[in-house]
Amino acid sequence: MAALLTARNIAANPTIAKSPPGQGTPPAIVQKLHDATVATMNASAVRAKLDEMGVDLVAPERRSAEYLRDFVRSEIGKWAGPIKASGVNSD
């Protein structure tokens, strides 16, 4: 199984950590990655392994690039104030 993106390896890779998903990526590439990801998530062997591990997959209606974009924007809006107020930074 390919390496999973975790908080630890994202933080260790500044390119990933500081690049919003899909920023500047051509829409055709985003769609191709999306389609491959969904196909993998729907593969019976993958689903069986994830079920065995107790992993709940993202609901189909939450799998689009547009949904992720909107979700990330809403989360940034929700958490920007509390994070700034806490004094936490990425350094």
- Per-residue HEC secondary structure of the chain comes to CCCCCCHHHHHCCHHHHCCCCCCCCCHHHHHHHHHHHHHHHHCHHHHHHHHHCCCCCCCHHHCCHHHHHHHHHHHHHHHHHHHHHHCCCCC
Q: pLDDT per position in the chain (91 positions), as tens? A: 445 555 555 556 555 555 555 567 888 888 898 899 999 989 999 999 999 999 998 898 998 888 988 999 999 999 999 989 998 877 7
Domain boundaries, the chain: 24-57, 59-91
* pLDDT reported for residue 85: 93
